[in-house]
């Protein structure tokens, strides 16, 4: 078990914007950062990070919290794993206390799969570096590819012995369960027989964005027509091929820094590029590019450069991936290598400067690339040329941004020597067709799921008490430890006129003390259970520790409570997402002082509760015609108190700021 001292150091040292910046491209927005949600598919940013409060909020999914909760949500870490990840990131030594038997038990199946993959990764590396077969076959292969010891170690490359169940036997010997070996795909089970899936292959571990091993790619080293050249781990609870990019763990920071991502096809393409000095490169691992993979890149940059080898036969099929990138609203360029060359071989034969120069000079805009590729096929055939132009307009039509569409139409007009009017007309026809088809689809779905039309519901009423209780929690979180001068209004008789007047009395107190005493005075209770729990936790924490830290407080809450607190604290940041100032709309900022805000909120809650009490009494009076004089007297007293509080509230709201 990790010691409390280590946990405290992790919370004190870690910076939420740095941790999340490894996974999401963040852009400055006032005092905060914003970016695309890593939890939903979106085009406009709804993800906000506050460096001041050290919290984050995803307004599209409702999730929120601190650096630890982000890792738990995004990487599916357990709490201890998130702490260990941050400790490693910030070079904090982990102190551990003695674990109980319960702590030693595997938390769940998902975690067991990760543990098996981590063991396999270590095993394959050990086999390659420590056994005669591993050095003679596996290590020799990588050396022949030109990989250095440093790059082999960085990418954790390994080798699986050319024996039927060497890995499986060693795993069982180390007490790993056969069911998890089978579920990760490392072991194939047929009746009573067990086989190593990657027997006799060099191994490429596939990492998540945080560095966890999700699965493996294995390359066979002998000519066997019956066996696949490359073999990947099967789909599992932790490995989803369509949602993973090889090399992203190593490339994420470079991609964000360079604001561009090179996309290649194979494992060795990535490794050779990194060895040459180009680090912002990832691979789709030989599979067709998917929207999920594109969205992973989109979190870090909006620019992709797709690299194709000189094999013209596969280019046409690969172009389909470009349309997927365009559909996600990203900017895409294409670069092809000379015939007979691929990214691996070209990077190996050239220096870093030569490679960068080639990429810069030969990267074409997608429209130019597609035009040159398709026009070679069309040649002098006017019908094929017309089809080529329509194909290009189809690609332009899926771009979400209207300005980009217009620019590409103009570019296409120049390249294909055709009027812009014709292209715009074609674009309009395609869009109209798409809208019509989408409308038909919606109508079909509506008809299939048609239900009896219900009466139109009125808009839900605002729960005033909920909002006021929430505001009190917000005040305690932001200002609870501050000492302020509060003006209290006391009812006194005017010596000259004899009339009752409100006289101000100044007293100094911490904000949490003022709120606690005011609520105690009327014996007011929170009706929302979450707010009630947070209220007493906050008052207790503030009473014990004057150096209150929001970051530390959230770290001690469970996930549901952490999300609740984050929602409260980040409510105002929601409006920063819309760039109102750029649209010449200036949102109204808070003008109240802290004492004024405290008094107004507490008085408003007291007035609301009195109104509620009076309504309850009036309801009782209608039900009990007899013996209601006592109730009427209580109502009269409450109405008098309400009048007094309303006068106080009026002075607080109308007073000088």
Tokens of 404: 């980009």
Please say whether the dihedral angle defined by the alpha carbons of residues 341, 344, 349 and 354, taken in this order, is positive or negative.
positive
Q: What is the pLDDT of residues 112-155, one digit of tens each?
A: 899 999 999 999 999 999 999 999 999 999 999 999 999 999 99
Distance of alpha carbon 261 from alpha carbon 359, whole angstroms:
12
Q: What is the mean pLDDT of residues 234-260?
A: 92
Contact 277, 351 (CB under 8 A): no
DSSP bridge partners of 501: 492
CATH topology for 248-432? Dna Topoisomerase Vi A Subunit; Chain: A, domain 2 (3.40.1360)
In the DSSP assignment, the letter for residue 246 is B
Contact 503, 490 (CB under 8 A): yes
Q: Give CA angle at 334 (330, 340), nearest 5°.
A: 150
Q: What is the mean pLDDT of residues 226-244?
A: 90
Tokens of 313: 């036969």
The pLDDT assigned to 150 comes to 97
Q: Is the pLDDT higher at 342 or at 648?
A: 342
Which is nearest to 36 in space by CA: 15, 59, 64, 65? 59
Which is nearest to 181 in space by CA: 232, 244, 228, 112? 112
CATH superfamily of 109-239: DNA primase, catalytic core, N-terminal domain (3.90.980.10)
Query: Residue 482: how many CA atoms within 13 Å on its side-chain side?
Result: 12
The pLDDT assigned to 160 comes to 97
Domain map (residue ranges) of the chain? 4-103, 109-239, 248-432, 462-548+590-657
Q: Which residues contact 23 (CB under 8 A, 6 or more apart)?
A: 38, 70, 74, 209, 210, 252, 299
Contact 270, 309 (CB under 8 A): no
Tokens 């406009």 locate to: 44
Reduced DSSP (H G I as helix, E B as strand, rest coil) percent helix, strand, coil of the chain, to 5: 55, 15, 30
Query: 99-103, 366-370, 550-554: which range is least confident on average?
Result: 99-103
- The answer on pLDDT for 330 being more than 80 is yes
Distance of alpha carbon 296 from alpha carbon 299, whole angstroms:
6
Q: Where do the DSSP E strands lie in 160-252?
A: 187-190, 193-196, 201-207, 213-220, 230-232
Q: What is the pLDDT of residues 570-607, one digit of tens each?
A: 876 666 565 555 544 445 545 458 888 888 888 888 77
Which is nearest to 267 in space by CA: 388, 190, 158? 158
Contact 56, 566 (CB under 8 A): yes
Tokens of 498: 């004899």
- The answer on pLDDT for 611 being more than 80 is no
Distances (CA, A) of 626 to 390, 617, 629, 634, 636: 86, 14, 8, 16, 18
Q: What is the pLDDT of residues 336-368, one digit of tens each?
A: 898 888 999 999 999 999 999 999 999 998 888
Distances (CA, A) of 347 to 79, 190, 351, 463: 41, 43, 7, 63
For the domain spanning 4-103, the CATH number is 3.90.580.10
Tell me whether the CATH fold assigned to 4-103 matches the one assigned to 248-432: no
pLDDT, averaged across the chain? 82
Helix/strand number for the chain, H first, E second: 28, 18
Distance of alpha carbon 233 from alpha carbon 213, whole angstroms:
11
Contact 217, 232 (CB under 8 A): yes
Distance of CA 327 to the CA centre of its chain: 20
pLDDT range class, residue 546, cuts 50, 70, 90: low
Return the C-alpha torsion angle 419, 420, 422, 427, nearest 10. 150
Distance of alpha carbon 597 from alpha carbon 591, whole angstroms:
9
pTM to 2 decimal places: 0.68
Contact 174, 214 (CB under 8 A): no
Helices (DSSP H) in 300-449: which residue ranges? Answer: 315-327, 343-349, 352-362, 366-378, 382-397, 402-416, 420-448
Q: What is the mean pLDDT of residues 497-510?
A: 71
Contact 56, 47 (CB under 8 A): yes
Helices (DSSP H) in 449-584: which residue ranges? Answer: 464-479, 511-521, 529-544, 550-555, 559-569
């Amino acid at each position: 078990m990790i010691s409390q001292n280590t946990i405290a150091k992790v919370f004190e040292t870690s910076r939420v914007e740095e941790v999340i910046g490894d996974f999401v491209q963040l852009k400055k927005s006032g005092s905060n950062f914003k970016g695309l949600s890593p939890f939903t598919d979106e085009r406009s940013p709804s993800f906000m990070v506050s460096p001041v409060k050290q919290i984050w909020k995803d307004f599209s999914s409702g999730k929120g919290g601190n650096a630890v909760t982000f890792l738990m949500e995004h990487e599916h870490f357990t709490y201890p794993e998130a702490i260990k990840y941050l400790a490693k990131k910030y070079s904090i030594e982990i102190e551990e206390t003695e674990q109980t038997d319960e702590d030693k038990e595997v938390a769940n199946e998902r975690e067991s799969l990760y543990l098996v993959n981590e063991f396999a990764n270590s095993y394959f590396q050990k086999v390659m570096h420590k056994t005669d077969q591993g050095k003679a076959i596996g290590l020799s292969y990588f050396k022949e590819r030109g990989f250095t010891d440093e790059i082999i170690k960085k990418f954790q490359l390994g080798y699986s012995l050319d024996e039927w169940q060497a890995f499986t036997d060693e795993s069982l010997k180390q007490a790993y369960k056969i069911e998890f070996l089978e579920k990760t795909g490392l072991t194939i089970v047929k009746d009573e027989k067990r086989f190593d899936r990657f027997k006799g292959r060099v191994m490429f571990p596939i990492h998540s964005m945080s560095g966890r091993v999700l699965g493996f790619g294995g390359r066979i080293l002998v000519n066997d027509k019956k066996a696949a050249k490359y073999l990947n781990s099967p789909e599992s609870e932790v490995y989803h091929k369509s949602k993973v990019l090889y090399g992203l763990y190593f490339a994420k920071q470079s991609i964000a820094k360079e604001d561009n991502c090179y996309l290649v096809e194979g494992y060795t393409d990535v490794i050779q590029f990194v060895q040459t000095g180009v680090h912002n490169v990832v691979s789709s691992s030989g599979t067709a590019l998917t929207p999920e993979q594109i969205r992973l890149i989109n979190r870090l940059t909006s620019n992709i450069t797709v690299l194709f080898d000189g094999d013209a036969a596969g280019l046409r099929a690969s172009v389909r991936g470009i349309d997927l990138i365009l559909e996600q609203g990203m900017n895409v360029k294409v670069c092809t290598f000379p015939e007979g060359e691929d990214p691996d071989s070209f990077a190996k034969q050239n220096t870093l400067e030569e490679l960068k120069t080639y990429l810069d000079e030969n990267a074409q805009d997608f429209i130019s690339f597609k035009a040159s590729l398709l026009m070679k096929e069309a040649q002098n055939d006017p019908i094929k040329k017309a089809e080529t132009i329509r194909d290009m307009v189809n690609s332009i039509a899926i771009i979400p941004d209207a300005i980009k569409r217009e620019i590409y139409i103009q570019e296409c007009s120049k390249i294909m020597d055709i009027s812009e009017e014709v292209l715009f007309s074609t674009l309009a026809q395609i869009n109209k067709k798409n809208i019509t088809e989408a409308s038909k689809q919606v109508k079909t779905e509506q008809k299939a799921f048609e239900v009896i039309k219900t009466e139109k519901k009125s808009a839900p009423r605002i729960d005033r008490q909920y909002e006021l209780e929430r505001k009190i929690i917000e005040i305690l979180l932001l200002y609870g430890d501050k000492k302020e001068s509060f003006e209290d209004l006391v009812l006194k008789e005017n010596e000259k006129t004899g009339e009752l007047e409100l006289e101000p009395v100044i007293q100094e107190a911490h904000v949490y003390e003022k709120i606690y005493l005011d609520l105690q005075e009327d014996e007011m209770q929170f009706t929302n259970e979450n707010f009630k729990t947070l209220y007493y936790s906050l008052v207790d924490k503030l009473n014990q520790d004057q150096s209150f830290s929001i970051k530390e407080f959230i770290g001690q809450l469970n996930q549901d409570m952490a999300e609740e607190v984050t929602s409260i604290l980040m409510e105002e940041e929601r409006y920063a997402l819309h760039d109102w100032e750029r649209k010449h709309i200036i949102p109204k900022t808070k003008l109240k002082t802290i004492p004024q805000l405290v008094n107004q909120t507490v008085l408003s809650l007291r007035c609301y509760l009195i109104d509620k009490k009076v309504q309850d009494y009036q309801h009782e009076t209608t039900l009990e015609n007899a013996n209601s004089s006592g109730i009427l007297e209580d109502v009269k007293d409450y109405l008098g108190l309400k009048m007094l509080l309303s006068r106080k509230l009026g002075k607080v709201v109308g007073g000088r700021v």
